Structure 1
């Protein structure tokens, strides 16, 4: 039997696991990390590389290590040129990734890794049992649910008919390769879509790039106000006893579909140079013509055509791990808010020995729960109980 099993090896799960090891809360032989991929942060690195992100949106103190200034020291030791950018010292993506992998190697996370897809979680008197798709089961005293939301991409209803078409891809689909030629349409108005559209305009083999979004480009430094990192906003938030109200506050606080100012100016420059067309409005319908070209029909009766469509519409709005968590919730009567997400203690414990991180912890952590700062907060909370 293990002492801890962490389900999910992305930013959230890797942060929790490395902290458990680093602070000697568990020995390597007593920790198991189960993830769908071969190595930690694989989904994160694949998607960010695909859209050619150069710098993170978060500041230099947001990373997986305990010391807030660890990444700054790392940049100096390894002589990274232009390691940070802008007023908030946003780190280079490649540096952040290597810093993370070095930390995970050093703390021993790699030695605790198991590639597998969890399909069942159950409780018995001896502890928690985690089953993976090949039938193997593992028991543990404690389990951390650190399941990412990006495993299930959001597909708008208007494109259901062509969902399986090779001309339409979602950037969150791991196996998809971006088109190298033709007229490409990018759907979305947030950071992922903006990075993707800009990257495509840099490829000489791409004939044209069109970005289609529902709303004007929104500019925010971060995906939520920095006040959500501390007592400025959280004191009031934690006084809310209604989880419906907490959900409303989270939705309002998140700067969804927003981009940084520097990325905004990059898009405008490409538009001025004639390398990018930017359209704002709602898509009503999609069709494929006789030549296989995809046609988008907008609410203003405008038609936009392209040889391929790339969706950067984010994750589906659903409980992560819903397929195998729902039976557990029903059987054990786990407390959930009206939105279906867990109601947990301050140490993020959902049931005895069952903890949550990331999106599953957001009703306690608040609007930053899904990002790197949220991962750090979740690790700190969980370790209080370890």
Structure 2
């Protein structure tokens, strides 16, 4: 039996695991259960696919406990131009290698179990996690740290025209990027913008069109930095209505926004004739023979060789395919939006903790990003 079971091996789960291994438990006392073979698989796959070169968050947001660990790592390993811009956004390759090195030092791979979670119960004070083939993993405490990018968000018009060859979603692991032809990318946020920049730099791609529903929303971060500390959180924590907390979170998040640095890079590609912007609503799209016909709501039609959706993930609760029954069985408290109501230590029920999206009603708008992972790790470790 383990002292800690962490369900989810993305950035959130690995950050919590790093903190626990560093301060509280040995690697023999902790297990991480994830459906992929290695830590942070989804993060590393998607960021590599879209060609992201640096993070949106600043240098103090990473997996290590010491906030200046990444700065020291850049100096020790002699990285050239390790941080970019006025906000010192770290290079992605450096951030990933720093994360892997930190996890290797802690022996996190020895704590890894590649499995699919199917259920969770508490029996005689012990948590039992059901995995495939009717097996059970037992532990004293459990952290739910499942990610939110498992279910790609398809627009309503795309439900009947999914085509692995011509129309697909960037969050689908089976999606491979086109190497030639005319490409249309649907989306106005960071993922779409990074992908547009990457593909427009490929000489074999004839043209790239970034199709978005709204003008660009230029924001430095995905929420105001005031949400990292007492500036906004003091008032937020005094709100006892969870429907109001949900409203505040939705209002605070800059969904579909991009940084000014990335916007400047896109404009450079436009001036070079490698990228085109188009604003409007898609009514429907059809994959016919070797091309895609995109019909706009204003009557215009756009033809392309492929259409890539960068429309984010479904707004659903992580792990809901098995978590719903757990909530009902254990009578776990939930807000009107269906998300957990937890203590300040992120404890949902005795010995059951949450991180990431599941913790956002307590942590606030930053809960899903790296800063939120650090906050969750700190709160959980303090209660260990």
- Would you say 1:376 and 2:374 are equivalent positions? yes
- Would you say 1:303 and 2:282 are equivalent positions? no
Any idea what SS the aligned residue of 1:162 has?
coil
Aligned to 1:20: 20
Deviation of 1:283 after TM superposition, in Å, equals 0.9
- Would you say 1:194 and 2:193 are equivalent positions? yes
**CA–CA distance in structure 2, aligned partners of residues 180 and 164 of structure 1:** 17
- The Cα offsets for residues 177-217 of structure 1, whole Å up to 9 and x where unpaired, read as 11111111101000000000110001111111111111101
Q: Is contact 1:358–1:369 with CA below 8 Å preserved after alignment? A: yes
Aligned to 1:224: 223
1:102-141 counterparts in 2 under 5 A? 102-141=101-140
Q: Name the count of aligned residue pairs.
A: 384
Aligned to 1:330: 328
- The Cα offsets for residues 99-141 of structure 1, whole Å up to 9 and x where unpaired, read as 0000001112111001111111111114111111233210111
**CA–CA distance in structure 1, aligned partners of residues 218 and 58 of structure 2:** 17
Aligned to 2:3: 3
Aligned to 1:214: 213
User: In angstroms, what is the RMSD of aligned CA positions?
Assistant: 0.9
Any idea what SS the aligned residue of 1:296 has?
strand
**CA–CA distance in structure 1, aligned partners of residues 353 and 97 of structure 2:** 28
Aligned to 1:360: 358
The 3 A distance-change label for structure 1 pair 341 and 85 is same
**CA–CA distance in structure 2, aligned partners of residues 161 and 343 of structure 1:** 37
TM-score by length of 2: 0.98
1:131-170 counterparts in 2 under 5 A? 131-170=130-169
**CA–CA distance in structure 2, aligned partners of residues 231 and 4 of structure 1:** 30
Aligned to 1:32: 31
Aligned to 1:320: 318
Any idea what SS the aligned residue of 2:159 has?
helix
- Would you say 1:93 and 2:92 are equivalent positions? yes
Aligned to 2:69: 70
**CA–CA distance in structure 2, aligned partners of residues 376 and 140 of structure 1:** 23
**CA–CA distance in structure 2, aligned partners of residues 296 and 29 of structure 1:** 54
Deviation of 1:223 after TM superposition, in Å, equals 0.4
Q: Is contact 2:166–2:287 with CA below 8 Å preserved after alignment? A: no
- The Cα offsets for residues 5-29 of structure 1, whole Å up to 9 and x where unpaired, read as 0001110000000100101x11211
2:337 to 339, 344, 350: 339
Q: Is contact 1:147–1:358 with CA below 8 Å preserved after alignment? A: yes
**CA–CA distance in structure 1, aligned partners of residues 138 and 216 of structure 2:** 48
- The Cα offsets for residues 156-179 of structure 1, whole Å up to 9 and x where unpaired, read as 110111124421121111232111
The 3 A distance-change label for structure 1 pair 165 and 51 is closer
Q: Is contact 2:199–2:205 with CA below 8 Å preserved after alignment? A: yes
Aligned to 1:83: 82
Deviation of 1:287 after TM superposition, in Å, equals 1.9
TM-score by length of 1: 0.98
Unaligned runs of 5+ in 2: none
Q: Is contact 1:18–1:108 with CA below 8 Å preserved after alignment? A: no
**CA–CA distance in structure 2, aligned partners of residues 187 and 132 of structure 1:** 37
